[in-house]
Structure 1
Amino acid sequence: MTFILDTREVAPSDREEAIREVIWGSVVRVEIDHHRDPERIAAWGRIGDVAGVNICTIRSNATTIRRTPALVNDDLEPSVFVSLQRSGTSAVIQGDRQAILHAGDLAVYDTEQPYVLLNDGGIDLHYFRIRQRDLGLSPDAVAAVTAVRLGAGDPVAELAAGHLRRLAEAQGRLTVRQAQLLAPPTLDLLRAALTSVLGDDRASAQPWGAVLEARIFEFVRENLTDHGLTPARIAHAHGISLRRLYAVMAGAGVNLAPWIRDQRLAHARRLLIAPSADRLTIEAVARRSGFVSAAHFSRVFKTAYGLSPRDWRNDKLPGHRTPAAGRMTPPAR
């Protein structure tokens, strides 16, 4: 979903707060210095996500953006920003380094550390926020590349900048499938640019295969309760073929279907002995664990643990009596 910010549609007295609300809620928590005259506060932005990459294109007459030590302690997942200068100049300051950007230049900064962005002539940039675990950078690599200008004269940085610019311009027109297909090459190209700047392999501490593997495991865990969680859907969600999916899992020593089944069984066991267990029928536990029916769940559970789900729960919770199907009390909302 793409969101458009346009202060021309906002009353002058509300513009500063409207910008703050959008940026804090959709991009990152920062303090922004605006024009003192509310009538002259101006900003236009397009904000959205493309396959896990948050993209924010902004034109504004704001001058300074700060991520303060207090804001660094928010609950944002550790991420890096890549800023791409569209026109004019700006400065990225983090730690003891400062990068001066001209049109077409890139710079990286870390959301886990305070930073300042200076835009004396106003803001005209694309910002890309990428989770560190997706990018696969080691902490040392992140620290080594923050507030470093990546620009003209570096062919890999130029390729990355051109790709990111076109990705931002295509935002809102890409299908979900197209966005998923673009995620791996986008991350690979950016990591290549950073590795090139470092001059060694520190940025490659976590190769793309390992990043993809971690993303697949996380996706499965987040979608265990979905009966439609199939290898085809997992592959589709990550923009890879079934063959590639099985190869990645084999490289991790995982047989996908049995692993999903085991994860669902582990989830079911937690539900069976949860504090709210007395409100759940076996059918409800099966449904909330991603099994298509209570009968199928019971067969799989007994094969794995030697007891039916009902007997296993009664064994673990002496004195407990599993409610009969159709008499479940709905959980509190």
Structure 2
Amino acid sequence: MLIDSMAMAPGERVEAIREVIWSSVVRVEITHQSDPRLIRTAGVISRVGPLTVCSVRANATAVRRTPALTRDDMEPSVFVGLQVTGSSVVVQDGREAVLRPGDLALYDTTRPYTLLNRNGIHQHYFRIPRSELSLPSKLLDLATAVPFSRRDPLTDLTAACLRRIARQQARPAVSPAHDFQAAGRPCIELLRALIAARLGDHRTVCQAADETMHLQVMDYVRAHLGDHDLTPAGVAAYHHVSLRQLYKILSRHGVHLGEWVRSQRLERCRAELADPRAEHRSIAAVAYRWGFPNAAHFSRAFKRAFGITPSDWRALHAGSGGSPRALNP
């Protein structure tokens, strides 16, 4: 579902935005800090497995879930707010969390809360049923309105996972919905680990860490795809596990490391060869950049994967701003 206040009549914007949020996200009172004619709100709302994802940019607002609204029939849920730019404040349970870009905060729909966005909203919001988090209520209640700083490695990893989901749901044509629905579960497991680690629940931390190790491994590999010395042994050593443990962890989630690395590298090459900003780079240079030192081997692997040669793929996108165009016969 798309939200675009510019497509609404000025006099209808306040009520229309309220109706969309109430029906699709959560029942809250929204106070706009500007004349209705100047209200600017744009966003996307979607579902990714158990997650409801809402990405929004808007003028300054105050959002309140009042005591009366907490008694609605909505399934008890937790929201995770991921700050994109600017800053905001989350108030709940007598605590205040000030968020800056990359920071996270939680708030619970079963109790009143306030979100203050004095300079405008630019956030990704994720609604998760409390039952999906499988955390003790007392533990979860202590995590509301507590800032999770981007400087913490586990927060950064969790935010990166959530950010990818938010960006992907805004581009449904890139990855079909049925291929993407499973992505919500790993993010929830990371969030469980993050909450437990922050609040010192060591048993839950160990359990969640085991369940999310494959995500940490894959995130590390994504960041090092261009390294020519990237090896399974090196990945295992970085994560303090044996090579056998590494393969066992990944196999539980259907990941064959060598094949996955190759497919990721090929995808990076395919994206760069279609990017007009990279047209000055030779195909061999692009291949080398993403871990293929042998241009001939890369060309064969690319054609096997995508059914087209790298040069023909680049020609399809040449001078078209990244959009395909027909090859000359």
TM-score of the pair, normalised by structure 1:
0.59
Whole-angstrom CA distance in 1 between matches of 2:143 and 2:116 = 18
- Residues 186-197 of structure 1 mapped to structure 2, 5 A cutoff: 186-197=187-198
**What count of residue pairs does the alignment treat as equivalent?**
210
Which has the larger Rg?
A: 1
Contact 1:140 1:202 (8 Å CA) reproduced: no
Aligned partner of 1:165 in structure 2 is 163
Aligned partner of 2:65 in structure 1 is 67
Aligned partner of 2:16 in structure 1 is 18
Which range moved further: 60-69 or 166-175?
166-175
Contact 2:192 2:208 (8 Å CA) reproduced: no
Report the Cα offset of residue 208 of structure 1.
Answer: 11
Aligned partner of 2:118 in structure 1 is 120
Contact 1:137 1:206 (8 Å CA) reproduced: no
Give the residue type in structure 2 aligned to 1:104. G
Aligned partner of 1:28 in structure 2 is 26
Which range moved further: 82-91 or 179-188?
179-188
Aligned partner of 1:180 in structure 2 is 181
Report the Cα offset of residue 131 of structure 1.
Answer: 0.5
Report the Cα offset of residue 36 of structure 1.
Answer: 4.4
Distance 1:68 1:22, change over 3 A: same
Whole-angstrom CA distance in 1 between matches of 2:65 and 2:9 = 26
Report the Cα offset of residue 38 of structure 1.
Answer: 1.3
**3-state SS in 2 of match to 1:161:** helix
Report the Cα offset of residue 135 of structure 1.
Answer: 1.4
Whole-angstrom CA distance in 2 between matches of 1:75 and 1:151 = 33
Report the Cα offset of residue 205 of structure 1.
Answer: 11
Match of 1:152 among 134, 150, 153: 150
Whole-angstrom CA distance in 1 between matches of 2:203 and 2:59 = 38
Contact 2:77 2:128 (8 Å CA) reproduced: yes
**3-state SS in 1 of match to 2:193:** helix
Whole-angstrom CA distance in 1 between matches of 2:185 and 2:60 = 34
Report the Cα offset of residue 53 of structure 1.
Answer: 0.4
Whole-angstrom CA distance in 2 between matches of 1:174 and 1:77 = 29
**3-state SS in 2 of match to 1:137:** coil
**3-state SS in 1 of match to 2:142:** helix
Aligned partner of 2:83 in structure 1 is 85
Report the Cα offset of residue 162 of structure 1.
Answer: 1.0
Distance 1:208 1:154, change over 3 A: closer
Contact 1:93 1:117 (8 Å CA) reproduced: yes
Q: Which runs of 5+ in 1 are unaligned?
A: 210-242, 245-333
Aligned partner of 2:53 in structure 1 is 55
Distance 1:9 1:81, change over 3 A: same
Whole-angstrom CA distance in 2 between matches of 1:59 and 1:106 = 17
Q: Which runs of 5+ in 2 are unaligned?
A: 211-251, 254-329
Contact 2:193 2:209 (8 Å CA) reproduced: no
Which range moved further: 179-188 or 96-105?
179-188
Whole-angstrom CA distance in 2 between matches of 1:134 and 1:183 = 11
Whole-angstrom CA distance in 1 between matches of 2:121 and 2:6 = 17
Report the Cα offset of residue 183 of structure 1.
Answer: 2.8
Contact 1:141 1:202 (8 Å CA) reproduced: no
- Residues 95-244 of structure 1 mapped to structure 2, 5 A cutoff: 95-171=93-169, 172=172, 173-201=174-202
Contact 2:75 2:129 (8 Å CA) reproduced: yes
Contact 2:49 2:185 (8 Å CA) reproduced: no
Report the Cα offset of residue 13 of structure 1.
Answer: 0.2
Report the Cα offset of residue 182 of structure 1.
Answer: 1.5
Whole-angstrom CA distance in 2 between matches of 1:117 and 1:98 = 10
Report the Cα offset of residue 28 of structure 1.
Answer: 0.2
Distance 1:75 1:207, change over 3 A: farther
Whole-angstrom CA distance in 2 between matches of 1:183 and 1:12 = 36
Identity %: 47
Whole-angstrom CA distance in 1 between matches of 2:196 and 2:175 = 28
Aligned partner of 1:230 in structure 2 is none
Contact 2:83 2:102 (8 Å CA) reproduced: yes
Whole-angstrom CA distance in 1 between matches of 2:32 and 2:198 = 34
Whole-angstrom CA distance in 1 between matches of 2:145 and 2:79 = 10
Match of 1:46 among 39, 44, 47: 44
Report the Cα offset of residue 204 of structure 1.
Answer: 6.4
